[in-house]
Chains A and B, each alone.
Chain A
């Protein structure tokens, strides 16, 4: 994330253009290096001229009324929200909004929302629920703002609450990953009945730079991390996280924002037509099952439960060093006295 922000500030739009051309070269090459190909897509997803929520909505909606403020603290310009009419569907629209230039990026905090952004989103979702309006969200975020003010005002609480709200919201939700799907800051507005993604969008649990710095101990391996996390839209479709990938105009969304919006609009309208016809109880149930079933695990039959006290309570580290030393068989459960009682306190 650190590097991402620095890059955003430093490179302007030019670096991304270069990357975009590289990507085109590679896509025509006979045997593209998979790591470079994935990284080129990450750069496309981050392209500064990629159409943002307001631009897309302006293109696809007949009308848009922006609503401001979370009624608790302020108005976070990194998230925009409002009411729109798209091909006769009256909907609530919510999306992250990166800036087009440095000045706007400062105002919009490079599209990284603070808690109040997510609280504004929740407020508008609840309004949509009460008014019987479907919700359409556009996701394009490096990550939620990671600074102290964000933590002080409860960024984790805002994300958790928003995710929870969306799992039970009694109105249809269509979500589109349009650019960067950056972790919890993305998911907070990306729980939907259907999740769409633009072709060059990416979606990941942590930024590739963050992943590389933890697992490879250097951000130089960000491309390796991007490849390992399978963060492209096509990969996300395979994993079942995304339901449909929408092709972008030839050179990528940034070369034809209007064309991108038109393609998006067709699919969004089709999905709205389909979802508003489903009884709301069934819809919310199906949404619950969608998220309930994501994730891969095996259930071994006939496994004996962990005994209530598996081993003497020592320190995790000490226990591990013991076990790693090949003494795994030794720690038989010690007789447990009254260990569950707090030690006597002299002041009690």
Chain B
């Protein structure tokens, strides 16, 4: 990360949580306002912090262009699922903690003046897990993109399918893929951005299937949890296993993109792939 900021290696003894955040990668104490300005990328080591969905939207879209669609979708509890805690209680807690209704927001917005259907996931809401609401919103986004013939951009951050909805959550893989196949057949482009983490059923459905796949640096991306893999096989895992660069090396990611460059790279790609590809938009 060539970003250069003043070092915050101060002599302070205490770092109040409201003002400072410790980087989990380099352990540097970071002043929150500075971290915010750096798009939640550690100025010292380049660690990409996870982003709440509204923040991601504000980083990617032209200011004031985002119009949310289907904001009223909320999960039901079709299995009456209870583990240590009842599923509705988990949802309520997640809603309170994030201010979101489920782990995803979708709507129409613009990236450098180009209209897109955009889906952003939020790992803070039950691990970004995909239940019926996430599946439905992704499918509606794909159908919306198809109806309006605007490109689809999905930013994934998810631990996978939501266990509390059982096989109905698994069926969201089929639901989202069905909608994406129609989008692809109609030659409407789909850009997938994989952020930390993108695993399980989300990776094994829409996240991996972009016409172009971009990933943030060092994001955990994989199908099976790393511990499952290691435990099962009892063999040593390759270095950087299930990280963006590993996926890049094996041919499943087109480009590993630093967060400050993401918006520009998306806009650049859209200028080639947008169905209209208007001359005016070309720089």
A2 with B232, Cβ < 8 A, contacts A153-B250, A204-B166, A295-B175 known: yes
How far is the CB of B191 from the nearest CB of chain A, in Å? 16
Q: Do the beta carbons of A288 and B72 come within 8 Å of each other?
A: no
Q: Which residue from B3, B132, B181, B222 sits with its C-beta under 8 Å from A164?
A: B181
Residues of B bordering A, CB below 8 Å: 2-4, 17-18, 21, 32, 35-40, 49-52, 54-55, 57-79, 81-84, 96-101, 105, 107, 122-124, 131-133, 135-136, 139, 161-163, 165-175, 177-182, 185, 200-201, 203-209, 222-225, 228-229, 231-233, 235, 237-238, 241-242, 246, 250-252, 260-261, 263-264
Q: How many residues of A contact B (CB 8 A)?
A: 92
Choose from A151, A167, A310, A339 the contact partner of B174 (Cβ within 8 Å): A167
The verdict on A311 contacting chain B, using a C-beta distance below 8 Å, is: yes
Q: Which residues from chain A contact B232 at a C-beta distance below 8 Å?
A: 1-2, 5, 146-147
Cα distance A184–B174 in the bound complex, in angstroms: 10
Against B, the Cβ 8 Å flags (1 = close, 0 = not) of A296-310 are 111111111111111
| Contact across chains for B38 and A346 when beta carbons are under 8 A apart | no
Task: Tell me if A73 counts as interface (CB < 8 A to partner B).
Answer: no
A204 and B105 alpha carbons, distance in the complex (Å): 27
Contact present for A156 and B208 (CB under 8 Å):
yes
- A250 contacts which chain B residues (CB < 8 A)? none
B59 to chain A, nearest CB (A): 6
Beyond A146-B228, A298-B73, A308-B57, whether A154 also contacts B52 by CB under 8 A is: no
The 8 closest A-B pairs by CB, nearest first: A295-B132, A146-B224, A305-B68, A342-B260, A300-B72, A303-B72, A313-B55, A167-B178
Q: Total A-B residue pairs with C-beta atoms closer than 8 Å?
A: 318
14 A–B contacts, CB within 8 A, in A order: A147-B235, A159-B173, A163-B174, A205-B165, A215-B83, A295-B135, A296-B132, A297-B136, A311-B52, A314-B32, A315-B32, A324-B97, A340-B59, A342-B261
- Are B168 and A311 neighbours in the complex by a CB distance under 8 Å? no
Would you give the shortest CB distance from A215 to chain B, in whole angstroms?
4
Nearest-neighbor residue (CB-CB) of A323 within chain B: B97
Contact in complex: B58, A336 (CB < 8 Å): yes
Query: Within the assembled complex, what's the spacing in Å between the Cα atoms of A161 and B204?
Result: 9
- CB–CB B178/A146 < 8 A: no
Q: By the criterion CB–CB under 8 Å, are B52 and A319 in contact?
A: yes
Contact yes or no, B58 A308, CB < 8 A = yes
**Contact of A107 with B by CB under 8 A:** no
Given A167-B177, A215-B83, A297-B75; A2-B250 close (CB under 8 Å)? no
Contact partners of B67 in chain A: CB under 8 A: 305
The answer for the CA separation of A167 and B184 in the assembled complex, in Å, is 13
CB-CB nearest in chain B for A181: B167
Query: Known contacts A148-B237, A156-B208, A323-B96; is A294 also within 8 Å of B168 by CB?
Result: yes
A residues with CB within 8 A of B: 1-2, 5, 143-144, 146-148, 150-157, 159-161, 163-168, 181, 183-184, 187, 191, 203-206, 210-211, 214-216, 224-225, 228-231, 236, 239, 241, 287-288, 291-292, 294-324, 328, 336, 339-340, 342-343, 345-347
Q: Is B61 within 8 A of A311, CB to CB?
A: no
When the two chains form their complex, are residues B204 and A295 in contact, meaning their CB atoms are under 8 A apart? no
Contacts of A224 in B (CB 8 A): 83
A214 touching B163 by the CB < 8 A rule?
yes
Cα–Cα distance between A153 and B208 once the two chains are bound (Å): 13
User: Do B171 and A295 touch across chains, with their CB atoms under 8 A apart?
Assistant: yes
The answer to whether A148 and B235 touch across the interface, beta carbons within 8 angstroms, is yes
Collect the chain A residues with CB atoms within 8 Å of residue B79's CB: 228-230, 239
Is B35 within 8 A of A315, CB to CB? yes
A2 CB contacts on chain B under 8 angstroms:
228, 231-232
Task: Give Cα A258–Cα B60 distance, bound, in whole angstroms.
Answer: 59
Contacts of B75 in A (CB 8 A): 296-298
Which of these, B73, B99, B206, B241, contacts A311 with CB under 8 Å? B99
